[in-house]
Structure 1
């Protein structure tokens, strides 16, 4: 049992105070955003419709998820552990879920009010600078809230549970990750179903602009930007913050004892200061690009974060590994100064964020060669656009994965090959990357706010020509910042998952030591074997990678079905109400919002059940060695798939922007139609399946950490129970694959209904259904 001294407790108390101060700064920034002018009556009416749709969707989503959270909370009591720890883990599971939901709701609520103010500011003198300031400070509110709630939850757990804090924080991180995954999937299905439907019918079939008020899907599209990009991404980055802290504290306690339990909190607390600095210094100067100002703010705050973390390391940590007490890892013989090594690990994490920012910007930016190449291929049709975007995605995935792998290797070299120390340093690098999380969230929120602002301006028609161009420029910047932050979120997810991988090994080793060295037969020995050469462990690797592919396919297919329903509904409205095109009839926006809401919530269960129950089936069915392989396969396939989906989608999106700016024939040309097709293919890639992989791999790792002791108990030692172990595996597999089969049956039903609806449009071609 690790005890915390008075100095460490005082530091944790100060960190809790800093968390509260972060929330106060968020409140001040919120007031500044809401103080800006809110535009014309027409703008306000459009914004109100978006606000109502977003709030209605999230409220229904939270009601749906509340029951699921209560059930999972109860199941956590069934896991092995001390009674007080089990109670704390279950309670803080609910706290983590509630914090994740609160961050998502805050991001949505403020973004749906800031978009109106950005649109209004664009036509005023200095509109570029003012619009960028409002959009970025909106993100600053969410960023400071992410830092504040994450730090507050972790600090309170450490103050209450001291040495048992890592076990309780497993529940906190699991609650945050589970809610974030559901919000990512549900919000992603909503936003991309509306976006794809709006583009295919409005732009391609009717030849009207993206946010033309005659398109019934425009309001749903703007609602989707907020429930997907704002609420979903904010919750995603919050759970990255929480989960990385969980892994760092588990591994820090094992390696460094008291110091390892507190120092990760200090590093992430530095992030609160960095976030406030980044928001304060990010200002557009004159006519410069908003992206230039945002990048400048990010890099300056990142350097400051490394310096402050280094100072904290030299003040708090001992100067020799022999001086650490309370840890179980053998570090006494390690050479080097732990203060320098810890600082270098943090610096590697921050450097990784900066490099990922640059690489992602290169592959998705409107002025970069890869995106210009994709835009060039619009001249030869949709097929070449899709192929070129896929090529960019595949290539960028290799470079990004290589950069993340190089960072992990660098940390491994820092640790001198000591696995226990290197795993803790990887978690510390993740904490270092997250010192910039406040600025990262601000960058991400900038995207949907500026996108919505352009939509409000176009629908209302109350913005000057110069203001419209400013909003177009801000929207293009927002596309790049969204792509960049997705890349950084992926890097964070990989570091967190790798650290959790180490936490899983620690949980298994601790339980085996507790159970004792009971004799085992060859089959059980194979189940306990971590060696990749073992066939059954290799099976786990294959299943882990396959789960990522299945999850991605389910998410994209869900968007396809929902988007098909939107296409049919928008076509119906144009067909039955010809006055829509002449502005004599108002489209039925609410019907499209209702369809998106219904379909996205209906599709939530399948990927969630797959993520939660697949590791249970593998762990209890095949053993702890294959489960380790399962996690390794999921991490490896997950990073490649997530980057591929995010960057190919980002390249398609900005290629469309290039064409719409007048290149290759401009709007309403064949090249534009091809670019729109590419963008619609990329929409579920970059905004649904890709981002949802981040919480997926962390949820599966956290589930594995939580169930590892139970697997050891039923597989190994005096209480081994093969029948119970196999029964649990079969039930878990039945739940996971039963959800997939139910999704397939639902898809077949939707296909039949779609065929019938299409036939009604063409009575002479009624198919047999």
Structure 2
């Protein structure tokens, strides 16, 4: 992004006026206010009852396992961050070494913030889960209290996300002013890169443990989901925290950061200083509405379920955000485009009202979040027809359950994609034919969506906390039937909220990627202008060259488009296969313990929980490398190998396919999970029935869909966009250079492709648990597999 339009620097934003600086400082102060509320909620949550000693012992084991996993992951990722900083320093930046230093430094800041939010979410969730379980034991008001503890714990993570995201962006603007967009690319890239690795690694851990626990415990042994006799139960509960809490918290933070980065870059290019400040004002107001949303989320006795209370608070906070953003636009922006600080003649000549333009764009983002909330809820809630149809399919066996779930996922992806596309097109129309203005409208729509992020993150963290609480209660046995019913209901609500947050996260990815794709075109233009080539010596020739370069009928660009779509499939396949391989090892280990320690089933012997935690930790760390290398190296291979036009087409293919794939995986998995919950509640024969076994199979298939591959596509899209933006100027330089440059360009592409090939080959040739057993035990392994 270092070259995004000459207008970004210089006359448009060399310095902020006194009033603009004040607004940025106020935004930073509001960000700190969010952090203060987070601290207050932590104190309130930790002050609640911790339950029985047995509950505390189980929760302590989960805390220990989650902390050990994250510590090991952070050590591995620290090496990656150092390497990335070195490579980032080598890339040129307008403004010289001071700007390159700032970009690299804030890359580290973005990575640290992303990692901290993931760690904080995990740390508090592992302490809140037993408090939710303890609250559910209370005879009167248990449901309401348990719901409040779980949601307010999520609120802590929500406040940390909006607080650190807004504070980081405001700090960059205060320090670097007109050069802030260049430095912000480092901040967004650091957050996105770390989040992707945390999302993939955490997803592999949690679903390997979950799948292994279900296949042996529920299917083979016929024991409950969180039965303490199952050696994988502790690993399963650990996985909920390192995947759904730490991984998803980091993911949503990078969504917040990258969307804000895109808005600030395009805002500076279109509105000048006002465009650098207004995108900070909108999420600052979002912080205030997040505070309102979290504190008004209260379960009333008349509410049918926790989802009713969450929906009510979400829609109220979204409406408040729309009103506040409208008031801010009228108070801050001028009444005509001629009053803006930009030097762009097309924008200055625009006949509209920038205040109405900004309000329209922000409202589109808020409405988009609300529609996705309702749409995802329809396809994943237990009371809705899609999930009930999957439950009915269980009467005819697991095959029809799988087919019904895939159908729901595919259908929901179409509607969600249409809604997101409509939002992007609606924002585009606000530009009135000025492309740069239309792209800023898309970015502002993303900012509008950000106003709901605080509540969205709270909703997401609520899910794994409720799941863990149910597990702790069941493993301890210290809960009555009414309390167990409360926790089961909260867990079902949590499955829906997790699906909703995944849908909204992918919507932010599309809005940010669309805005960044526009920045990619702007980078091309600036790089071509600086190249001095005869082919782009005049403005007319430059426009003609760009149109020709991005023409999708060019076979190179068509190949780039296909490769971009294919990378999403390969990435998803690698993630799901990693879960499958690790789950095999978990199954073998749990079976071994049941075979070697017969006292486990009658309770006279304790399972070796740590063995399964070690397996999941080892496999997650090993398996996340290949998808990560694919995300970083594929844009390099396509860009340097096929050219900058093919790289643009590559991004378009990845965005389109990634949107559909992510929603399909998330919603089908969520629907399968809640269909299982519905049967466990007594429908179609209840627990232990053939229908129950069929829905367990469906849920097992859906686990890596909804919690590993699906949500990981979100950071994948943005990492690839940011890598493309960083390397685009170099690709233009090599493309217009001499024959020696052509050789270097091809060598870079070949090296990147070779890295991907070797990484995938190593991943595919890595033996699974069945292979290892066959090598050591020969034909005996087949008997164990079929035992």
TM-score norm. by structure 2 comes to 0.95
Query: CA separation in 1, counterparts of 2:390 and 2:759?
Result: 37
- 2:772 — aligned with what? 753
Distance verdict in 2 for CA 1:527–1:409, change over 3 Å: closer
Unmatched runs of 5 consecutive residues or more in structure 2: 1-9
- Equivalences for 1:526-565 in 2 at 5 Å? 529-565=549-585
Q: Is the 8 A contact 1:57 1:597 kept in 2?
A: yes
Q: How many residues align?
A: 765
Query: CA separation in 1, counterparts of 2:609 and 2:535?
Result: 67
Pair 1:96-2:116 in alignment: no
**1:229-288 alpha-carbon deviations (Å, 9 max, x no partner):** 011111011000100011111111111111111111111111110110101111111152
Pair 1:254-2:269 in alignment: yes
Pair 1:70-2:82 in alignment: yes
Q: Which moved more, 1:727-736 or 1:325-334?
A: 325-334
Query: CA separation in 2, counterparts of 1:130 and 1:170?
Result: 42
SS in 1 for 2:552: coil
- Equivalences for 1:704-715 in 2 at 5 Å? 704-715=724-735
SS in 2 for 1:721: helix
Pair 1:279-2:294 in alignment: yes
Q: Is the 8 A contact 1:363 1:396 kept in 2?
A: yes
Q: Which moved more, 1:683-692 or 1:496-505?
A: 496-505
- 2:63 — aligned with what? 51
Query: CA separation in 2, counterparts of 1:454 and 1:764?
Result: 35
Q: Is the 8 A contact 1:527 1:626 kept in 2?
A: no
- 2:426 — aligned with what? 410
Query: CA separation in 2, counterparts of 1:695 and 1:609?
Result: 13
Q: Which moved more, 1:310-319 or 1:204-213?
A: 310-319
**1:463-522 alpha-carbon deviations (Å, 9 max, x no partner):** 111111111111111111111111111111111111111111122212222223434899
- Structure 1 residue 752: Cα displacement: 1.7
Pair 1:137-2:152 in alignment: yes
Query: CA separation in 2, counterparts of 1:329 and 1:220?
Result: 60
Pair 1:208-2:223 in alignment: yes
**1:105-159 alpha-carbon deviations (Å, 9 max, x no partner):** 0000000000010000001120000000000000000000001100111011011
- 2:3 — aligned with what? none
Query: CA separation in 2, counterparts of 1:742 and 1:255?
Result: 47
RMSD: 1.8
Query: CA separation in 2, counterparts of 1:764 and 1:308?
Result: 66
Distance verdict in 2 for CA 1:717–1:330, change over 3 Å: farther
Pair 1:32-2:44 in alignment: yes
- Structure 1 residue 215: Cα displacement: 0.4
Q: Is the 8 A contact 1:618 1:627 kept in 2?
A: yes
Query: CA separation in 1, counterparts of 2:397 and 2:553?
Result: 47
Query: CA separation in 2, counterparts of 1:699 and 1:528?
Result: 26
- 1:582 — aligned with what? 602
Distance verdict in 2 for CA 1:764–1:58, change over 3 Å: closer
Query: CA separation in 2, counterparts of 1:196 and 1:479?
Result: 16
Distance verdict in 2 for CA 1:740–1:584, change over 3 Å: same
Query: CA separation in 2, counterparts of 1:324 and 1:186?
Result: 46
Query: CA separation in 2, counterparts of 1:516 and 1:279?
Result: 55
- Structure 1 residue 729: Cα displacement: 1.1
Q: Is the 8 A contact 1:526 1:536 kept in 2?
A: no
Pair 1:724-2:744 in alignment: yes
Pair 1:225-2:234 in alignment: no
Q: Is the 8 A contact 2:551 2:557 kept in 1?
A: yes
Distance verdict in 2 for CA 1:757–1:389, change over 3 Å: farther
Distance verdict in 2 for CA 1:30–1:388, change over 3 Å: same
- Structure 1 residue 766: Cα displacement: 11
Match of 2:190 among 171, 175, 179: 175
Match of 2:314 among 287, 298, 302: 298
Query: CA separation in 1, counterparts of 2:470 and 2:575?
Result: 28
- Equivalences for 1:61-460 in 2 at 5 Å? 61-81=73-93, 82-124=96-138, 125-288=140-303, 289-328=305-344, 330-460=346-476
TM-score norm. by structure 1 comes to 0.97
Query: CA separation in 1, counterparts of 2:172 and 2:257?
Result: 12
Q: Is the 8 A contact 2:774 2:781 kept in 1?
A: no
Distance verdict in 2 for CA 1:537–1:374, change over 3 Å: same
- Structure 1 residue 625: Cα displacement: 0.6
Distance verdict in 2 for CA 1:602–1:396, change over 3 Å: same
Query: CA separation in 2, counterparts of 1:763 and 1:391?
Result: 34
Q: Is the 8 A contact 1:759 1:765 kept in 2?
A: no
Query: CA separation in 2, counterparts of 1:116 and 1:684?
Result: 26
Distance verdict in 2 for CA 1:719–1:345, change over 3 Å: farther
Query: CA separation in 1, counterparts of 2:785 and 2:129?
Result: 45
Query: CA separation in 2, counterparts of 1:389 and 1:50?
Result: 31
- Structure 1 residue 526: Cα displacement: 9.2
Q: Is the 8 A contact 1:143 1:442 kept in 2?
A: yes
Query: CA separation in 2, counterparts of 1:71 and 1:79?
Result: 13
Distance verdict in 2 for CA 1:132–1:557, change over 3 Å: same
Query: CA separation in 2, counterparts of 1:98 and 1:410?
Result: 36
Q: Which moved more, 1:575-584 or 1:749-758?
A: 749-758
- 1:480 — aligned with what? 496
Query: CA separation in 2, counterparts of 1:531 and 1:168?
Result: 31
- Structure 1 residue 456: Cα displacement: 0.3
Query: CA separation in 1, counterparts of 2:533 and 2:338?
Result: 30
SS in 2 for 1:581: helix
Distance verdict in 2 for CA 1:766–1:258, change over 3 Å: closer
Q: Is the 8 A contact 1:536 1:626 kept in 2?
A: yes
Query: CA separation in 2, counterparts of 1:537 and 1:243?
Result: 26
Q: Is the 8 A contact 1:200 1:567 kept in 2?
A: yes
Query: CA separation in 2, counterparts of 1:51 and 1:742?
Result: 33
